[in-house]
Amino acid sequence: MRDFLKRLPKVELHLHIEGSLEPELMFALARRNGVELPFASVEEVRAAYDFQDLPSFLELYYRGMSVLKRAEDFHDLAMDYFRRAHAEGVVHVEMHFDPQAHLARGIELDVVMEGLSLARREAERELGMSTALIMAFLRDRPADEAMKVLESAAPYWEMLDAVGLDSAERGHPPSKFTEVFQRAKMLGIPRVAHAGEEGPPDYIREALDLLDVCRVDHGVRCLEDPDLVARLRDEAIVLTVCPLSNVRLKVVERIEDHPLPQLLDAGLRLTINSDDPAYFGGGMLDNFVACHDAFGWSKETFIQLAGTAIEDAFMSDARRLELHRQLAESA
């Protein structure tokens, strides 16, 4: 089964590129940039990956990215991930990035965009992968700051496949960002948002009603609200589910307790994703294998999930057709 899951052309719709920073690269970049890390070794960093919840992870996540200083660093970060993903059969990656986390450290948007853009072109040329870019706003920071970031990104609007909403969810409902997302809509930029990871089902409703998102990142808590589940099904909204992330951040206790089978039974459109693979114990293939081991899903189920990701990805029609064909051949 692992061989089959590796061969399956996998499309990743939910990845934070800063969350793909492996401890080895963290140390290499720290050395290159003269940044002091509060860890003595790679092993010590890994040992710190014992999270109680989303905020306790975010603390480490924001600290880890302090080693990213120059365009070259963002390039190396993304290429490091694209190579790993490619090796496990990922053919398309949609990456969130967090400009505010870098601006707060004095790293300009131009630096981030230059590095990521270079890596995207390289991934296409050398690995035959396609990629998409999602500029995420930090929901635990003020909405007017997000608006300023959106406006200052004007030179890059055309390069953004979507804007997103991430960081600490509780106490920061989507409604806080209504105006920012309205502005993005006016600019013709598609919208996605994290909702219903730690936050209540109402946050998912707000993301749909007020932010007009085309898909929901995580969304697993929708199951607490049967009317919402019916709506997600009727409107064919895709949830980008991240099983290993949900275990590591204690959204669920064990993978066997994950609500993925119920979500599937409810007729929802689902995809499997890695979220922050360096921090959550595995990439796309590990997430697929974990689902197989926990739920005993058939090949057909995985083909269905991989197909949904292809259908919902930000990519050209030609690329979509090519990947649907690859998927049919892998079956």
Asked whether 277 and 80 are in contact (CB, 8 A), the reply is: no
Between 11 and 220, CB nearer to ligand HPA? 220
The annotation status of 194 as a binding-site residue, yes or no, is yes
The annotation status of 292 as a binding-site residue, yes or no, is no
Least gap, CB of 136 to Zn ion (angstroms): 8
Indicate the residue whose CB is closest to ligand HPA.
166
Could you give the maximum distance between any two Cα atoms of the chain, in Å? 53
- DSSP characters for 106-140? T--HHHHHHHHHHHHHHHHHHH--EEEEEEEEETT
The annotation status of 218 as a binding-site residue, yes or no, is no
Binding mask 175-214 for ligand HPA (x = CB under 6 A): -------------------x--x-----------------
Span near Zn ion by CB under 5 A; candidates 28-36, 131-139, 275-283, 298-306: 275-283
Displacement of CA 112 from its chain's centroid (Å): 17
Least gap, CB of 251 to ligand HPA (angstroms): 9
Count other C-beta atoms under 10 Å from residue 156's C-beta: 16
1-20: contacts with ligand HPA (CB under 6 A): 16, 19
Between 65 and 327, CB nearer to Zn ion? 65
Select from 245, 271, 274, 308 the one that contacts ligand HPA (CB under 6 A): 245
Least gap, CB of 190 to ligand HPA (angstroms): 19
Nearest to 4 by CA among 265, 295, 329, 264: 329
94 binds ligand HPA (CB under 6 A): no
Strand order in the sheet with 269-272: 192-195, 215-218, 238-241, 269-272
198 binds Zn ion (CB under 5 A): no
Asked whether 223 and 263 are in contact (CB, 8 A), the reply is: yes
Select from 22, 76, 275, 312 the one that contacts Zn ion (CB under 5 A): 275
Asked whether 61 and 276 are in contact (CB, 8 A), the reply is: yes
Q: Which residues contact 314 (CB under 8 A, 6 or more apart)?
A: 94, 132, 161, 162, 190
What is the rounded CA–CA span in Å between residue 51 and residue 58? 9
* Options 197, 256, 300, 322, the catalytic residue: 197
Least gap, CB of 186 to ligand HPA (angstroms): 25
CA dihedral 156, 161, 167, 169 (to 10 degrees): 130
Select from 20, 66, 130, 167 the one that contacts ligand HPA (CB under 6 A): 167
274 binds ligand HPA (CB under 6 A): no
Least gap, CB of 134 to Zn ion (angstroms): 10
What is the rounded CA–CA span in Å between residue 305 and residue 150? 32
278 binds ligand HPA (CB under 6 A): no
Select from 166, 239, 243, 288 the one that contacts ligand HPA (CB under 6 A): 166
Select from 80, 206, 275, 312 the one that contacts ligand HPA (CB under 6 A): 275
Asked whether 286 and 247 are in contact (CB, 8 A), the reply is: no
Cα separations in angstroms, 304 against 22, 214, 254, 275 = 30, 19, 24, 20
What is the rounded CA–CA span in Å between residue 330 and residue 204? 34
- Does the annotation mark 72 as catalytic? no
Least gap, CB of 98 to ligand HPA (angstroms): 7
As annotated, the active-site residues are: 197
Where on the chain is the footprint of ligand HPA (CB under 6 A)? 16, 19, 54, 61, 166-167, 194, 197, 245, 275-276
* Residue numbers at the binding site for Zn ion (CB under 5 A): 275
